[in-house]
């Protein structure tokens, strides 16, 4: 690790680092091709016999470093490793591909083979058993390394045309879908937990207030044939609350465009278009609006939202720290909604990447372009 002293001006720091928000003055550069005394994995394909030992050091050091970040209590700052992987992708693509094919099965605790070329069912099973931090690591590597030279993936968007791109895109889709379902299950469980506290006469004032439940309900209904059974069970229990739901969460189905007051139907958890299918209510100019990645609600145009520098998602309603520190998935049937620590503070972390979010504000408030 080489420390390079920078100036006190935070604008001169790399924006991908947490140090920008912390106004740090030291930037760390990770040197991964040095001999650190770690056991070398000689099963990694070496591109050049002359530089074979160096490649073995790189591979062993990178895997060792990524393994350290599997600890959920450790801050997720691995852009130095990402930059090293990006350079290897250009200079030694075969070596990088082999290294990643060995790392992913190890990450997902899949010991039956040393390749990620497995069936769709096996892949989904592996991902459903992985910890939240492991899925965050997988998402970052997929986006910033393996798919960095392709169109940025967005759920429902276009996928790559070659087999290698499809492989990593499918991994990313499966991982993000799993994280989204866990986030919804956590939110639904939080609603049920607040109801439980209310029945016991315990104050809910200092506990996290869930929002966007109606939009999450719509998403589960739209994907009912593919989501986990536990998520559908939690949705049914939410429906059974009836009128009591307004006392423990925000449940508002109708949303309107902040520019023209036209209705905004729920069609996607990432973006929205104002107007509906009724010709009388469709405005002359339909506006494209962003949705909060954590709550699925429309983002406010008056208040700055949070922005993820990795996946590009916008977050307006922050998620409690308890979501990121859970040892078990909220989709597990044995999970008890009453045991959720809803008094933990909300943290500016991306629910899909785990990195620190940045404040984002439009350059000009009314810059939304009509379609």
The predicted structure's pLDDT at residue 22: 46
Q: Name the pLDDT band for 331 (thresholds 50, 70, 90).
A: confident
Cβ(183)–Cβ(319) below 8 Å: yes
Q: Coil, strand, or helix at residue 280?
A: helix
User: What is the spatial distance between Cα 269 and Cα 293, in angstroms, rounded to a whole number?
Assistant: 7
Q: How far apart are CA 132 and CA 180, in angstroms?
A: 11
Rounded mean pLDDT of 12-21? Answer: 52
The percentage of the chain sitting over the pLDDT mark of 70, rounded to a whole number, equals 70
The count of other CB atoms within 10 Å of the CB of residue 352 is 24
String of DSSP letters for 293-336: TTT-SBPPSSS-EEE-TTT--EESSPEEHHHHH-SS-TTSTT--
Mean of pLDDT values over 63-81? 85
Reported as a single tens digit per residue, the pLDDT across 79-120 is 888 888 898 888 888 888 888 888 888 888 876 555 666 677
Predicted local confidence at residue 158, as pLDDT: 44
Average pLDDT, stretch 285-314?
89
Q: For residue 63, what pLDDT is reported?
A: 86
Top-confidence range, 254-268, 327-341, 350-364: 254-268
* Buried residues in 192-208 as b, exposed as e (16+ CB within 10 A): bbbbebeeeeeebeebb
The pLDDT, as a whole number, for residue 154 is 43
How far apart, in whole angstroms, are the C-alpha atoms of residue 257 and residue 364?
18
> What is the Cα–Cα distance from 265 to 268, expressed in whole angstroms?
9
Model pTM? Answer: 0.81
| Rounded CA separation 170/187 (Å) | 26
CA–CA separation, 317 and 216 (whole Å): 14
The sign of the dihedral angle between the CA atoms of 249, 304, 358, 307 is positive
Higher pLDDT, 68 or 34: 68
Give the pLDDT mean for 267-281: 75
């Amino acid at each position: 690790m080489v420390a390079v002293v920078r100036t006190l001006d935070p604008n001169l720091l790399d924006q991908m680092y947490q140090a920008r928000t912390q106004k740090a003055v030291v930037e760390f550069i990770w040197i991964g091709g040095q001999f650190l005394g770690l056991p070398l994995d000689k099963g990694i394909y070496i591109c050049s016999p002359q530089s074979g030992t160096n490649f073995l050091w790189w591979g062993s050091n990178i895997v060792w470093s990524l393994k350290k970040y599997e600890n959920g209590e450790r801050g997720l700052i691995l852009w130095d490793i990402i930059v090293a992987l990006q350079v290897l992708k250009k200079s030694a693509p075969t070596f990088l591909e082999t290294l990643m094919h060995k790392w992913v099965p190890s990450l997902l605790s899949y010991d039956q083979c040393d390749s990620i070329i497995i069936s769709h069912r096996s892949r989904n099973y592996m991902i459903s058993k992985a910890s939240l931090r492991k899925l965050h690591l997988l998402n970052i590597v997929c986006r910033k390394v393996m798919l960095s030279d392709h169109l940025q993936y967005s759920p429902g968007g276009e996928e790559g045309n070659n087999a290698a791109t499809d492989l990593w895109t499918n991994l990313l889709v499966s991982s993000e879908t799993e994280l989204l379902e866990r986030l919804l299950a956590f939110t639904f469980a939080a609603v049920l937990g607040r109801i439980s506290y209310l029945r016991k006469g315990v104050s809910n004032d200092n506990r996290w207030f869930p929002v966007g439940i109606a939009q999450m309900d719509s998403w589960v209904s739209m994907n009912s044939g593919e989501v986990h059974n536990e998520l559908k069970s939690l949705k049914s229990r939410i429906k059974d609350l009836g009128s009591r739901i307004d006392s423990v969460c925000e449940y508002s189905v109708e949303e309107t465009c902040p520019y023209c007051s036209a209705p905004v139907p729920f069609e996607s958890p990432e973006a929205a278009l104002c107007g509906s299918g009724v010709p009388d209510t469709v405005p002359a100019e339909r506006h494209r609006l962003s949705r909060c990645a954590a709550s699925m609600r429309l983002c406010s145009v008056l208040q700055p939202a949070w922005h993820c520098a990795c996946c590009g998602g916008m977050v307006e309603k922050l998620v409690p720290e308890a979501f990121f520190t859970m040892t078990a998935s909220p989709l597990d049937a044995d999970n008890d909604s009453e045991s959720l620590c809803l008094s933990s503070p909300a943290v500016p972390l991306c629910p899909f990447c785990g990195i620190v979010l940045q404040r984002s504000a439009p350059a000009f408030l009314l810059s939304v372009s009509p379609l």
